[in-house]
Structure 1
């Protein structure tokens, strides 16, 4: 996974005031935890199986920041923002679905639909060169996912091949994943942040200017060039 950058700095209020309640029942009573699917700086994704039904899901274990002075873990407000956004963007064939949210003393666990086809990045690397029609098909689906977000005033802010997953092996249906950096930007709002993956960030990010839906479109242009 390529490194992401984000402006640091949070208030005490952001850190220690929960505004959402999550499922606090013992997670392992409900789900069998299986192999690791991926990891980031403060999160690990594992395949899990719902014990009651046998249905497979992906569980994203997000490590909570326990102390305001710590640099380890994710602050509460950022976790809650990701959950809020995921709950807002369900119902699209091209965006990952959030199923449930659990909380333990150390982690918040997002239960997501399982997409098992691998990253678009790995698919491109394996094939070395995509045909025009295949590349266009992927771009169209990514655009549909982005439109679904933008229609709801959500800007992803980390569009890249690693955050586009093939739904199944050998199937060319894709879904946008990883909303950890995403923002809800209402009309007229001014939001500035140093955020994203350096190779894909738009000029307004580097220049610390207002972010917008156009920020995602720049990143999609870079993805299209790669394809």
Structure 2
């Protein structure tokens, strides 16, 4: 059929002309269609944006490169979930990726805000952008608009987050040898040289370069970054394992020369701290049973029995579920004694509703009345650890291991959820016994527990177990629970606390705690292993930044030994 053009006469029919017109019209139509698609279709805007995502505060992390299209990520949350999986091994993102920042600290809130070829920093919830030098991980990102192009699989490849080279960082490193420990670092320079203490663990030192970076931040050499580390014997440390051998004293250097005289130390004599006297265990005064005055709503469901514990404004009784025939502990809180402290009760119940852990007492049910609040709790029949210590005076290490591991596991769970207990003491630790042996421990009484979003300043707790940062009123956090656990472990192994007042004077006791001085006196500690003493010394660190976390406690090699 001849082609008609507006206001033109039909072209004369001709086989050659028809063929020519058909070919050219086909090309024109294809070109026009392509132009229309390019101008009007969303395909152009859906071209993949290739972006490198780094980890907040980790200058050695090379990050991941991800190709982003609307088809691949339907929402901003789907990208956050993918980044959480891709960066799951990074110690700085233990809680997952919740926020993305630009390199200048602006928060990104949508996929449209991400620009092709740019760098972004992934962070956890509530963390601000850490202003470190991310240049190690910032190699060029290929733009989506031109070569070289990445294979699709490359987008999800998890890059190793080590330093300048794998050979220098990981050579000779055995992850199983990385145990939490405190090292002493001397800064090279004029004498007297400054001495620093630093906690290294697999969380803050997954590689040799990470360890050097942490030492650099603490030591602050005048010449800049720490380039070389030597042991006290003059051997250079070149692998991560070197920090976890027998040496615990190290020398930090920049680019300056090393002299043999640098490793000569002058020790000053110092008198031993005054050792604490053995104290007698106090007996818990139990309130006499009184006539039952319990809500009928509770009595309809439970048979209520004898008193098994009490406190300032609550009493705990045994009870039996009439339907299930299961024994529980019934905590009865007298609201008339809580006037002005209602928020503490509400806080305790709210936390108990949240937590589920085998080493934490579980809240089974609650019944609220105008006069009392009834909490039906899991019952642990062995009593509390205070009574167990009173009977046994001290425990074999195997029992102490069970207790400490159970308690550390519970605290690690609580601390992971930003909950500080604030009253870890033997009276609040319930135990199950197997004859004379400790079988299981559970944490109870969350009356002082609180979710921590910022430093706390309220002075609370029990004097013997209170951490020094509570007394100084400079602000405290989750670390205070580990201090209390260290005091309890000390008591379990010898029968008396590390900090005491000979005159039973509280101010004197607090001064003793603030001094941080304690010992392992003979003969009480002669049969206790060095590993147990080492763990205690890491838990009873006056500086909370050097103190073990609950996770660090669980990683300690003491739990791998067993008594013959």
Per-residue CA deviation, residues 58-106 of structure 1 (Å, 9 max, x unaligned), is 01111113xxxxxx3353211110011111111x111000011111221
1:201 to 458, 463, 466: 466
- Report what 1:61 is aligned to: 332
1:161 to 400, 407, 426: 426
The answer to whether 1:190 aligns with 2:190 is: no
- Report what 1:112 is aligned to: 377
- How far the C-alpha of 1:168 sits from its partner, in A, is 5.0
- In 2, the alpha carbon distance for the partners of 1:207 and 1:165 equals 30
- Report what 2:444 is aligned to: 177
2:313 to 27, 42, 45: 42
Per-residue CA deviation, residues 125-157 of structure 1 (Å, 9 max, x unaligned), is 212221112112211111011111111111010
- Report what 2:59 is aligned to: none
The answer to whether 1:81 aligns with 2:347 is: yes
SS at match of 2:413: helix
Higher relative contact order (CA 8 A, sep 6+): 1
- How far the C-alpha of 1:120 sits from its partner, in A, is 1.1
Q: What is the correspondence of 1:72-151 to structure 2 with a 5 Å cutoff?
A: 72-73=337-338, 75-90=341-356, 92-151=357-416
- Is the strand fraction higher in 1 or 2? 1
- In 2, the alpha carbon distance for the partners of 1:52 and 1:185 equals 39
SS at match of 1:173: strand
Moved more, 206-215 or 111-120: 206-215
Per-residue CA deviation, residues 2-46 of structure 1 (Å, 9 max, x unaligned), is 99xxxxxxxxxxxxxxxxxxxx98111111111111001110000
- In 2, the alpha carbon distance for the partners of 1:105 and 1:175 equals 30
Question: What number of residue pairs does the alignment pair up?
Answer: 198
Higher-Rg member (1/2): 2
Whether the 8 Å contact between 1:116 and 1:169 is mirrored in structure 2 is: no
Indicate the RMSD between aligned Cα atoms, in angstroms: 1.9
- Structure 1: gaps (5+ residues): 4-23, 66-71
Instruction: Give the 3 Å change call, closer, same or farther, for CA 200–152 of structure 1 in structure 2.
Output: same
- Structure 2: gaps (5+ residues): 1-281, 285-294, 493-564
